[in-house]
Amino acid sequence: MNKINTLFAERPQDKKFLSLYFCAGSPTLEGTGDVIKTMQRRGIDFIEVGIPFSDPLADGPVIQSAATQALKNGMNLKTLFAQLSEIKNEVTIPLILMGYLNPILHYGIEAFCQSCADSGVSGMIIPDLPFKDYQDIVKPIADKYDLRVIMLITPETSEERIRFIDDNTDGFIYMVSSAAITGAQKSFDDAKQEYFRRINAMNLRNPRMIGFGISNKQTLKAAQDNAAGAIIGSKFVTLLNESKDADEALDKLFEALEK
């Protein structure tokens, strides 16, 4: 069974997951494997590994800056897959590649999916992938390699669209906390809380993870109270860039999540 499905299928009822995002190749080109292994050792449940791209439309300045640094460092998909292959036998938690469609098309969808499977990747998030292209082109190839394509929903996504995504995907649904770009927030306002409650009431088939804006105890609790867990990106990317050390960055992240 795919590691993502196994993770959620075996989740104790009171268990709330914590997933972290970081950009491959940032802050250093050769550090990607060490960051992943450190996260696993420190109890992170699954990891989103960002594929750097020159025009990341959904990302805020923190992740844009990390992507720019990674590209300057020489990170690309060929290098990333080589690095992931080196640690494949040491990583037991799910790895999900998160990136834009352009580099994946350039690499080739079939080649990309095969490289994912060969290097221990369990799934992918492609924010700018049209759903029809997912159904007609990407899903059949992803299924062939037992990969999960995770779709995003936002407060503006219609109920009809959400149910369509729920019926046609597997793994989990990424609930974006707002329609804005990525970036840390101090709290979730009433509108976001109402969005969380509305999606809860839909009783979707797939589990959900909430991301975008989680950086402290208040936002973490709101996410974990309304979904299977939380995804943190910008806050961890900032700390990792500042410290250049994954253990130190995680220490500071866990401290921030207690405040």
Write down the residue that tokens 């020489």 correspond to: 74
What is the token pair recorded at 44? 């992170």
CA 151/CA 163 separation, integer angstroms: 12
DSSP string, 58-120: T--HHHHHHHHHHHHHT--HHHHHHHHHHHGGG--S-EEEE--HHHHHHH-HHHHHHHHHHTT
C-beta of residue 209 within 8 angstroms of C-beta of residue 230: yes
- Rounded Cα distance, 118 and 137, in Å: 20
Residue pair 101/128 in contact by the 8 Å Cβ criterion: yes
What are the residues whose beta carbons fall under 8 Å from the beta carbon of 182, sequence distance 6 or more? 58, 59, 60, 62, 63, 212, 213, 233, 234
Q: What are phi and psi of 231, to 5 degrees?
A: -120, 125
How many residues are given for the chain? 259
Which of 34, 45, 59, 166 is an active site residue?
59
> Does the annotation mark 167 as catalytic?
no
Q: Which of 48, 47, 67 is nearest to 57 (CA)?
A: 67
Catalytic residue among 14, 30, 48, 128: 48
Enumerate the active-site residues: 48, 59
